[in-house]
Amino acid sequence: MMQRTLIALFALLSAHMLLAQDPFVEALRRYQSGELAQARALIEEAVTSPAHEEDPEAWLLRGFVYKDLYKGSAGNKEGDQAREEALASLLTCMGYAPQGTYKDNAVQAYDYLTRSCFNEAAKALNEGDEERAVRLFGKYKEAVLRTDPKADLKAREVEFTNALGTVYTKRFNQDRTQTEWFEKAVATYKEVLVMDPANYGANYNLATLYYNRGVYNIRQISAVDDIPGMQQVQAVSREFFQLALPYMLVAHDMNPSRKETLLGLEGIYYSLQDQENSDRFRQLFELLPPEQDR
């Protein structure tokens, strides 16, 4: 729809411009015929000329050319660069056309490209490429705030940061000797809790992370370890269990009928040698109605 509107608008150019072989007109013709490389060269010439350097039509066309170049190479460095150029051009168009059809079309295209940054960031997380994900999420925030400096991005930030913490946790679980992933996961979930202290996922995941770290340490104790060494490991593990407890309690308080937190508290209290509380949460788990124990 945006592309058809753009073409219809540009078709209204006066005859003398067509005859003069204006680079903008030729760029439009090339764009319409799908010759994006040629259109790009011509529109670059146009927007640097006195006739079009402040022309919202020209900047709109440049934005559409680069948007289509992005779509043809999405997911790689060239696509990322094309999207950046498209966003910058569309923003420039909005500046020269504060209202009207040109701005409306620029806003629609800009919003599409902004959403693509977030969607690709989520995709990169799913693929385990957290560096690209963080970079793209930063681009997403920048793009949103350029047009709306007061935009509330909290929900998106919480969603993304939680997912990032999950990626770090998976990396740690693959090799628990690589404690840098543990530290990154902890810091990331704590970022979520700064933004949203009552976030169930961050509380539960952080509690589980601490608890599993303590269990792993204990499981590494062998018969050949000396007693002082064993006691030191047990003391450190106890610290992790104590760190896990308040976060699991918060998660439980948010939804007392969730079986995962009941089992989590049973295990934490058992590891802290608090048999009474461990048994209590086990009993609460066993009392769950069948429809809630799913």
User: Residue 17 pLDDT > 50, yes or no?
Assistant: no
Q: How far is CA 196 from CA 156, 157, 209, 230, 264, in A?
A: 12, 10, 19, 38, 22
pLDDT for the residue 176: 87
- 177-294 belongs to CATH 1.25.40.10: yes
Kindly report which listed range (45-49, 63-67, 98-102, 133-137) carries the lowest average pLDDT score.
98-102
Say how far apart CA 137 and CA 132 lie, in whole Å: 8
The yes-or-no answer to whether 1-151 and 177-294 have a common fold is yes
Please identify, in words, the CATH class of the domain defined by 1-151. Answer: mainly alpha
pLDDT tens figures, 79-115 = 999 999 999 999 999 999 989 999 999 999 999 999 9
Using alpha carbons, list the distances in angstroms from residue 150 to 142, 144, 156.
12, 9, 14
Place of tokens 């809790």: 193
Here the tokens at position 243 are 């760190």
Domain parsing of the chain, residue ranges: 1-151, 177-294
Is residue 99 packed enough to be buried (19+ CB in 10 Å), middle (13-18) or exposed (0-12)? exposed
Question: E-assigned strands of 43-195?
Answer: none
Q: Give the pLDDT confidence score for residue 222 in this predicted structure.
A: 46
- Higher local confidence (pLDDT), 233 or 152: 152
Residue 124 to residues 74, 91, 135, 181, 213, Cα–Cα distance (Å): 12, 26, 10, 18, 27
